Amino acid sequence: MPNKGISTLVTGMRVKVNDIDKYTYPDIVVVCGSIELEKVKGVETLLNPVVIIEILSGSTEAYDREKKIHPLSAYSFTS
């Protein structure tokens, strides 16, 4: 299979995390190979992220860590 490359997306795009059946809007996403999108009711959703990066700020850090990111056990935090 040919290498289709790595894409880094800096966006507020909706991303589906299949392992926990959750949607999130991360700051940065990395995709290997072709970008797979699903469009439902006019909203595009990225289906195949391999790395999800959330940049924490003082005003949103508690929410991001506890509500938004906590279910994603593979997350690494930097603040």
Tokens of 56: 């924490």
Owning domain of residue 19? 6-69
DSSP state of 66: I
Classify residue 79: in a domain, yes or no.
Answer: no
Q: How far apart are CA 75 and CA 6, in angstroms?
A: 20
Kindly tell me if the per-residue pLDDT of 4 is higher than 80. no
What tens digit of pLDDT does each residue of 37-67 get?
999 889 999 999 888 888 877 787 776 666 6
Classify residue 74: in a domain, yes or no.
Answer: no
Classify residue 51: in a domain, yes or no.
Answer: yes
| Domains of the chain: total | 1
What tens digit of pLDDT does each residue of 28-38 get?
899 999 999 99
Closest CA to 53 of 5, 23, 8: 8
- pTM of this prediction exceeds 0.85: no
Per DSSP, what are the bridge partners of residue 17?
Answer: 22
Classify residue 33: in a domain, yes or no.
Answer: yes
